[in-house]
Structure 1
């Protein structure tokens, strides 16, 4: 069990264990030499953490931090590799998870390179709206966390959302952010 804000994997450490996140949430964060943090991925239940160690004796490229109390099962790398060799379905599941993660990272890199900060904010709001059954974000996202998620600033998020409200694309109601015009929001992803 990892408590909130505890580090599951440290950036730069040699990966000796893989962890299956059973419950909770963890953020994969990379720290640059200048102290700037970059959120690489958000992991939920079912995520495999430290899986790069299954491929080679690598150092962790980023830290993985529990953001709320999180239960996990830890496996020594050698034991997990043996498990994958004995049960092909586990190896296949790990391969699929690694491909999905690489694909998500490629999309994130493309967004960081090709979209403006406003475009990244709109894309993230649209993504969260599509993930919600009614297109309503509950609770209202915390501006600083949204900024971190899209590698922007709290001020830029605040200005962008104020503009979206002014244009009638989003509305803030009773602790929720309502995506009123999802197509118009998608059109701003540039």
Structure 2
């Protein structure tokens, strides 16, 4: 997700016609959001989406629109590229947008370097989420209104989103 395969495809499409004959291999891997999710429970147990907060290739207004639409539709949201030296304000602004739609009690998972020796996984409530806890190695999972935290005493909490959704049934 948000890796280099799309950039390679864009270059092939825009480049000389000969580039279309180049052999290209895309290999499956574990995305940051899946790595973070497996470390904390099952926050992606129902519908979810991934949104990059980088406005290098798209306007910030479009990012805000997507954040609001995803939160309003009840999706769990994985945030990629949450903060950088060039754009230190965007994650805080994203939290402001989401707080306008989601309850302050919505679980937010900060997963830094998931699966690596310097891994750090922390869970906060949306009302308490602090953008300064993130860097470019952090993937943030923002729960839906259905997402729950199970406290387990001495053991790490579990965060999960039930497979069923509230609302009318057919």
1 or 2 for the larger relative contact order (CA 8 Å, sep ≥6)? 2
Question: Which has more radius of gyration?
Answer: 1
Interval of TM-score (by shorter of Structure 1 and Structure 2): under 0.3
Q: Give the structure with the larger helix fraction.
A: 1
TM-score (norm 2): 0.27
